[in-house]
């Protein structure tokens, strides 16, 4: 505003003497000048940034030197009008889009916006012929123009087929770049005849595929994109423009609507292969598979900048959940290339209008977008805004904001709303958006306002719920027809030539070929992962997780050595002292030291480790301390130190992230990352295991079933703190029963390690085996510092992960009448009770891996006690939760026919845990005692099944 005012004639140049006089009067007596001038000078003296007072100050300085006196007059009314003109220009930049022609259906009347009326600023119709300064707005290349021409330019720029929102952005450089780019062209496209014919061909491909499928496979669900056909030329143009800017790899995420059109017309999936899926053929290599409109695909295309590898991410019907998965995959690919600014790898997300406004994972993903370890240099967002969410089309019902994209404003990124019936405007906006992303490395939203030709699916009748809307849609000739008519009128194509495009595309469909001429066949893209070594592996594959004792001691020393002058907190300093003793073999290792050594050995071998979660650096329970903080410096001023990043000069990358307060988006991100980078140990840690509830969609639809549905190999590790310490219903249970219920076909691992050595070997085994499956770990809380839950350096150097740990006390095996089987923290309570009561006839074994169930190891441990008649499963969780119901069948299959299977634990409960510490303690005492009780079949805690 200040720059614009500086260029207005009323307060510039020769008017300075008059202003000087007014200012001198104001200094003598503020009441002696007109209120408008008084307000101006008040603001000037206060240093307000929206008043252009610098010219006044400069003029005073110049006149003081020359001692010249001058008199001048100024038309205060004219000054007011000039200020009104500037306010009008400003208003169009802010809210001009409110009256833009962006709805192809034209269902709403154009609203009256008083801020866009020149009379609102004291300007009369008689002023329309008056010349004013235009500030930074170019009007026919001039900085002065008649008011009527200024208004016409503003309407042409901000009120035609594009409504742009950017003035709320705080960064002045970004705003100015956008303003200049927008106003320099009045957002008027200028494409060649060849480019226009290409747009028509892409629109024909979009509409043609949908109509072909509708005719050939009538009634089959496909979630047609018809009505939003412009998305195909927009995607094509975006990929080509990105390629010209240097992008070599793109990952695209979208839900089901319009997906088949993107698969065929953008990715080059052969129509004959799609038709085969419609006719019931499926991939026999996958045990489950998925519906055709959830599937992913990858191919390679030519661009002006060279070949580009493009990937369409697999996605369930949970719509926006693919957002963090895509950005995670993009970040992994960027890291592999060393692409720090996102210039080589791009993410594109296609949203639905109702979903982008309604689903919280959109906000969570946006919150990640500009953070250090989740940013990707900007994601391109395309909203297929068909103005209806299933059957809800009244904006008063399906969102609480003016636009469906208003959530994007939280990230201060530009938003372009564009009429999808104007494909040239859509392509121009795409260029501006892509260039903005390239320069500023931030997200951009393009809201393609269109419609949905058919119902929610092809068996749905939308007239039932949206009669008036669909009367308009039925009358709409389609974007392709409108554009073909436009090109005919311009003489770009001959009369009837548009129909020839339709015929040519249908002929291609009949032959089962595609019409995308940019597809590269048999091209091997660089930086692609070789997944062959992970195929055909089994969970019983062995892995050597040993490390020489000397190496462990050397690494321990590096983990406990701080830079010179680095001041630790006294508590942390004591912990470091303890860890030094552990590394020297002078005292047993606790959990935190063993875990850090696991990471250290991996990165020392060249394997990268990525650990993320809400408190990962320190650890929620202050056990990890992978990051140290100088007590005399803030961490962003080099006041933090990560020993695991200083293991050796050629080490693998170690990244530890204190993430934003999100479970769903962060876990989705890490899943996407791990499916693109199998050679790194990728870990997500929940603050408490219970908090995985907030990411259940990611667990159910991706982690547990992604491989059997889509063939997506994933080695993601989840660390979920679990254990009943009396902290209430949301701080006790990681819900192992839910994960076990999802387990089948060896799709993932559920592990409950009980010693530091087990944790160490478990993490190393995850990378040293080529069997890649998600690893779900019920990690401890109180065991982190339990005096019994310790290990030796020798156990790390020479041991391995044990799926079952047998009896550790010296008891006579033939005297054992009962074997108690358990997992996790309760083992140490059972052990303490047995020792206190001097019980000699009960053995305790630990099931460290609950799935895949280690039948051979389990039976081998039971075999050691030939006279044991009773096998008791003891757990802390309520009977209807925890592992009992799932493991019961495995236990029965492995015990002898004459042995009795018993349960010891809490009774059934609707809540994961009680909220009263005294009640918790009573329950815990009772369940431990019941595991040894001789009163079989009595009480709630011991049930003979």
| pLDDT, tens digit, 9 for 90 and up, residues 672-690 | 999 999 999 999 999 999 9
Q: Which of 323, 199, 343, 202 is nearest to 262 (CA)?
A: 202
Query: In angstroms, how far is CA 908 from the centroid of its own chain?
Result: 37
Domain 193-280+290-390+397-520 has CATH 2.60.40.10: no
Burial class (CB in 10 A: 0-12, 13-18, 19+), 443: buried
**pLDDT tens-digit readout, 768-820:** 999 999 999 999 999 999 999 999 999 999 999 999 999 999 999 999 999 99
Binned at pLDDT 50, 70 and 90, residue 914 comes out as: very high
Dihedral sign of CA atoms 686, 687, 693, 697 in order: negative
Q: Quick: pLDDT tens for 584-613.
A: 999 999 999 999 999 999 999 999 999 999
Contacts of 581 (CB under 8 A, 6+ apart): 587
- What the block records as the tokens of 343 is 């210039």
The pLDDT of 276-292, averaged and rounded, is: 79
Name the pairing type of β-strands 942-944 and 900-906.
antiparallel
Distance from C-alpha of 279 to C-alpha of 315, rounded to nearest angstrom? 22
Cβ atoms of residues 703 and 692 within 8 Å: no
Of 32 and 384, the one with more pLDDT: 384
The enclosing H or E element of 153 equals helix 147-158
Phi, psi values for residue 822, rounded to 5°:
-150, 175
Using DSSP's 3-state secondary structure scheme, residue 855 falls into helix
* Fold category of 804-944 in CATH: Rossmann fold (3.40.50)
- Answer yes or no: is pLDDT of 5 > 60: no
pLDDT band, residue 277 (cuts 50/70/90): confident
Burial of 132 from C-beta contacts in 10 A (0-12 / 13-18 / 19+) = buried
Q: What is the mean pLDDT of residues 714-738?
A: 96
Instruction: Find the Cα–Cα–Cα–Cα dihedral 790, 792, 796, 800, rounded to 10°.
Output: -70
With bands split at pLDDT 50, 70 and 90, how would you rate the model's confidence at 76?
confident
Q: What burial class does residue 201 get, using C-beta atoms within 10 Å of its C-beta: 0-12 exposed, 13-18 middle, 19+ buried?
A: buried
What are the backbone dihedrals phi and psi of residue 613, each rounded to the nearest 5 degrees, phi first?
Answer: 160, 175
| CATH value of 549-798 in 3.30.540.10, 3.40.50.12470, 3.40.50.300, 1.10.40.50 | 3.40.50.12470
In this prediction, residue 637 carries a pLDDT of 66
Beta-strand ranges (E) seen in 67-180 are 131-133, 144-146, 162-165
How far is it, in rounded angstroms, from Cα 740 to Cα 428? 51
Question: pLDDT digit string (tens) for 856-866?
Answer: 999 999 999 99
Shortest CA distance to 106 belongs to which of 475, 488, 392, 486? 475
Share of the chain above pLDDT 90, in %: 79
pLDDT of residue 21: 65
Edge-first strand order for the sheet with 942-944 is: 804-805, 842-847, 818-822, 870-878, 900-906, 942-944
Q: What pLDDT is stored for residue 281 in this prediction?
A: 81
CB atoms within 10 A of CB 286: 13
Report pLDDT digits (tens) over 372-396.
999 999 999 999 999 998 888 888 8
47: confidence class by pLDDT, cuts 50, 70, 90: low
The reply to whether CATH 1.10.3470.10 applies to domain 2-159 is no
Q: Is residue 372 a contact partner of residue 325, using CB atoms and an 8 Å limit?
A: no
Q: How high is the pLDDT of residue 514? A: 79
Asked if the domains at 193-280+290-390+397-520 and 804-944 fall in one CATH topology, the answer is yes
Mean pLDDT estimate for the chain: 91
**Sequence-ordered list of residues with C-beta below 8 angstroms from that of 87, at least 6 positions apart, any chain:** 121
Predicted pLDDT at 807: 97
The tens digit of pLDDT for each residue in 446-476 reads 999 999 998 888 788 889 998 999 999 999 9
21 vs 23: CA distance, rounded Å: 5
Residue 940 pLDDT class (50, 70, 90 cuts): very low
Residue-range domain boundaries for the chain: 2-159, 193-280+290-390+397-520, 549-798, 804-944
Residue 657 predicted with pLDDT over 80 = yes
d(CA 900, CA 316): 44
Task: Give me the pLDDT at residue 636, please.
Answer: 64
Q: What is the 3-state secondary structure (H, E, C) of 629-682?
A: ECCCCCHHHCCEECHHHCCCCCCCCEEEEECCCCCHHHHHHHHHHHHHCCCEEE
At residue 50, the pLDDT reads 42
51 pLDDT exceeds 70? Answer: no
Q: For 317-373, how does the pLDDT look when each residue is reduced to its tens digit (9 = 90+)?
A: 898 999 999 999 999 999 999 999 999 999 999 999 999 999 999 999 999 999 999
Q: Determine how many CB atoms are found less than 10 A away from the CB of residue 168.
A: 11
Map residue 748 onto helix, strand or coil: coil
Average pLDDT over residues 2-16: 42
């Amino acid at each position: 505003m200040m720059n614009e005012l500086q260029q207005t004639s009323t307060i510039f140049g020769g008017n300075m003497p008059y202003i000087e006089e007014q200012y001198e009067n104001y200094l003598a007596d503020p009441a002696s000048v007109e209120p408008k001038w008084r307000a101006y000078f008040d603001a000037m003296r206060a240093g307000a940034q929206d008043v252009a007072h610098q010219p006044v100050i400069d003029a005073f300085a110049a006149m003081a030197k020359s001692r010249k006196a001058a008199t001048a007059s100024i038309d205060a009314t004219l000054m007011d009008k000039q200020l009104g003109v500037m306010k009008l220009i400003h208003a169009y930049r802010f809210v001009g889009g409110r009256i833009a022609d962006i709805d192809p259906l034209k269902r709403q009347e154009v609203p009256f916006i008083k801020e866009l009326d020149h009379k609102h600023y004291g300007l009369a119709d008689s002023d329309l012929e008056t010349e004013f300064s235009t500030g930074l707005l170019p009007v026919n290349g001039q900085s002065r123009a008649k008011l009527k021409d200024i208004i016409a330019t503003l309407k042409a720029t901000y009120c035609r087929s594009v409504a742009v929102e950017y003035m709320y952005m705080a960064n002045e450089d970004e705003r100015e770049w956008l303003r200049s780019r927008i106003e320099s062209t009045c957002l008027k496209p200028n494409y060649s005849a060849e480019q226009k014919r290409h747009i028509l061909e892409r629109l024909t491909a979009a509409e043609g595929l949908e109509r072909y499928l509708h005719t050939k496979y009538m009634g089959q669900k496909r979630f047609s994109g018809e009505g939003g056909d412009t998305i195909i030329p927009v995607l094509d143009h975006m990929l080509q423009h990105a390629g010209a800017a240097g992008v070599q790899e793109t990952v695209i995420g979208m839900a089901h609507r319009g997906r088949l059109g993107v698969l065929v017309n953008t990715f080059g999936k052969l129509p004959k292969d799609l038709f085969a899926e419609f006719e019931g053929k499926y991939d026999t290599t996958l045990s489950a598979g998925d519906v055709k409109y959830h599937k992913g695909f990858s191919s390679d295309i030519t661009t002006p900048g060279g070949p580009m590898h493009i990937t369409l991410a697999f996605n369930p019907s949970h719509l926006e959940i693919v957002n963090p998965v895509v950005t995670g995959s993009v970040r992994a690919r960027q890291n592999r290339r060393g692409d720090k600014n996102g210039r080589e790898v791009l993410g594109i997300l296609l949203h639905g209008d109702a979903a982008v406004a309604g689903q919280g994972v959109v906000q969570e993903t946006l919150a990640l977008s500009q953070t250090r370890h989740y940013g990707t240099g900007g994601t391109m967002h395309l909203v297929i805004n068909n103005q209806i969410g299933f059957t809800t089309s009244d904006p008063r019902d399906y969102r609480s904001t003016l636009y469906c994209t208003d959530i994007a404003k939280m990230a201060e990124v530009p938003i372009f709303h564009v009429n999808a019936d104007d494909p040239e405007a859509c392509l121009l906006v795409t260029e501006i958006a892509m260039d903005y992303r390239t320069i500023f490395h931030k997200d951009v939203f393009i809201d393609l306002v269109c419609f949905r030709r058919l119902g929610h699916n092809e068996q749905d009748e939308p007239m039932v719920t949206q009669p008036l809307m669909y009367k308009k849609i039925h009358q709409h000739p389609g974007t392709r027809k409108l554009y073909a008519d436009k090109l005919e009128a311009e003489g770009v194509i001959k009369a009837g030539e548009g129909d020839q495009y339709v015929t040519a595309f249908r002929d291609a469909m009949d032959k089962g070929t595609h019409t995308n001429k940019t597809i590269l066949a048999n091209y091997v893209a660089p930086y692609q992962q070789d997944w062959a070594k992970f195929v055909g592996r089994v969970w019983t594959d062995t892995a050597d997780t040993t490390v020489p004792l000397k190496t462990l001691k050397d690494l321990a020393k590096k983990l406990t050595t701080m830079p010179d002058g680095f001041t630790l907190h006294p508590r942390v300093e004591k912990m470091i002292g303890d860890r030094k003793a552990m590394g020297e073999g002078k005292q047993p290792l606790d959990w935190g030291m063993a875990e850090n050594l696991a990471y250290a050995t991996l990165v020392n071998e060249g394997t990268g480790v990525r650990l993320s979660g809400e408190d990962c650096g320190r650890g929620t329970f202050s056990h990890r301390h992978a990051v140290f903080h100088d007590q005399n410096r803030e961490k962003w001023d080099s006041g933090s130190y990560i020993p695991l990043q200083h293991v050796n000069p050629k080490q693998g990358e170690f990244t530890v992230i204190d993430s934003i307060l999100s479970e769903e988006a962060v876990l989705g991100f890490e899943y996407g990352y791990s499916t693109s980078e199998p050679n790194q140990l990728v870990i997500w840690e929940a603050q408490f295991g219970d908090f995985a509830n907030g990411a259940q969609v990611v667990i159910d639809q991706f982690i547990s079933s992604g491989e059997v549905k889509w063939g997506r190999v994933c080695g993601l590790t989840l660390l979920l703190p679990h254990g009943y310490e009396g902290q209430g219903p949301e701080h006790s249970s990681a819900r192992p029963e839910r994960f076990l219920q999802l387990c089948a076909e060896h799709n993932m691992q559920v592990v409950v390690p009980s010693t530091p050595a087990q944790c160490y070997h478990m993490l190393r085994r995850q990378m040293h085996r080529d069997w890649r499956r998600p690893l779900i770990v019920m990690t401890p809380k109180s065991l982190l510092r339990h005096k019994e839950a310790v290990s030796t350096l020798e156990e790390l150097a020479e041991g391995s992960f044990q799926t079952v740990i047998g009896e550790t006390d010296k008891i006579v095996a033939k005297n054992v009448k009962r074997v108690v089987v358990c997992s996790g923290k309760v083992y140490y309570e059972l052990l303490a009770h047995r020792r206190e009561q001097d019980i000699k006839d009960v053995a305790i074994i630990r099931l460290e891996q609950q799935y895949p169930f280690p039948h051979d190891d389990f039976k081998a441990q039971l075999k050691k006690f030939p006279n044991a008649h009773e096998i008791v499963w003891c757990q802390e969780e309520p009977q209807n939760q925890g592992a009992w119901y799932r493991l019961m069948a495995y236990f029965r299959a492995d015990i002898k026919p004459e042995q009795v299977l018993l349960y010891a634990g809490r009774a059934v409960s609707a809540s994961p845990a009680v909220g009263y510490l005294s009640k918790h303690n009573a329950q815990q005492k009772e369940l431990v005692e019941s595991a040894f009780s001789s009163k079989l079949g009595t009480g709630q805690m011991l049930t003979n099944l």
